[in-house]
Amino acid sequence: MAILSVNNLVTEFDTDEGRVRAVDDVSFTAQAGKTLGIVGESGCGKSVTALSIMRLLPQPMGKIVSGSVELDGTDLTRLPIPQMEKIRGARIGMVFQEPMTALNPVHTIGRQLTEVLLIHKNITADAAIREGVQILDRVGIPSPDVRMTEYPHQLSGGMRQRIVIAMALACKPDFLIADEPTTALDVTIQAQILELIKELQADMGMSVILITHDLGVIAETCDEVVVMYAGKVAEKGSVFDIFDRPAHPYTRGLLKSIPTLNTIPKSTLSVIDGMVPGLLDLPEGCRFENRCHFSIDQCISKPPVLQTVKEQHQVSCLRWQEIQA
């Protein structure tokens, strides 16, 4: 069952150098109780997609130009702000990358955590504190009642990220958007946090959109994957489609370029030559064309459209059949 669908989303930013289209015609659906991964390199539009869903684009530069984000049939892009505020935090929770900047340094953990509860639930301050302590305990914070009175700087990075997750989950949302939740953390802490998100998801039957650049994290946690490149969807499908039968040359290149524990030490890693084109001077045709070994004249003249490889597996490449063969 689709719970959230993003349809032909276009998001633009006004910058000094001109208008930049950070997200260009992106569509995907997230299924209830599942994890959808969005993977891509810096500047590919994955975070802007998340911010567009939450309607948290920096103002006044960022703007959703067209497309829709439907949550149970309601188009979030057209909701008036007061109604959107009722959805944020209550129905969709969000976890940000850098737990230090996501928390307010001058307020106690307790105050920040209970704020969510007090806004969305009709409860007393005492009840909110009690509930806050329970949530902290649930996300694995030792001596939660003491932590409620402490400030973010008194906690480690892993602890802070648990607090941010606790805040996102305080109102038991149906949906969690996690934007690089573990990128700033060490591997052992990353493992703890990913495990925690999985447990909570199973507990609460929540759906998750996980945004990351780490293909290892995607492979371990996601059911469905969207691969983004320069603001567009390059490929989307089940995690097995993407890892076993990637059809886009960019996906293939990414998968081949990461060293794993099984690659021969000091062997030459395969690379994707060149760089991502700047969003201000995007090519007319396929955006990956300048780095692609399969490029033909048609790739330069016309942007590719999403083509169906098989059910639920789509790719935006003219030559996917040859590539996958």
Q: Which residues bind other proteins (CB under 8 A)?
A: 41-42, 156-159, 186-192, 194-195, 213-220, 239-240, 243-244, 253-255, 257-261, 263, 265-266, 268-273, 275
| Nearer CB in complex with other proteins: 117/286 | 286
Secondary structure class of 176 (helix, strand, coil): strand
Distance, CA of 99 to CA of 109 (rounded, Å): 12
Q: Which is nearer to other proteins, 35 or 207 (CB)?
A: 35
Q: Residue 221 Cβ, how far from other proteins at the closest point, in Å?
A: 8
Identity of the residue, 71 or 109, whose beta carbon is nearer to other proteins in the bound complex:
109
Strands (DSSP E) found in 16-121: 18-31, 35-39, 62-71, 74-75, 92-95
The residue to which tokens 């920040």 are assigned: 112
Q: How far is the CB of 261 from other proteins (least distance, A)?
A: 5
Q: Measured from the CB of residue 275, what is the shortest distance to other proteins in angstroms?
A: 5
Measured from the CB of residue 195, what is the shortest distance to other proteins in angstroms? 6
Q: Which is nearer to other proteins, 173 or 181 (CB)?
A: 181
Per the listing, tokens 């016309």 go with 302
CB 158 within 8 A of CB 185: yes
| Least spacing, CB of residue 271 vs other proteins, in Å | 5
Beta bridge partners, 95, equal: 178
Crossing angle for the helix pair 157-169 and 187-204, nearest 10 degrees?
Answer: 20
Task: Output 156 or 298, the one with its CB closest to other proteins.
Answer: 156
* Torsion angle of C-alpha atoms 51, 52, 58, 62, degrees rounded to 10: 150
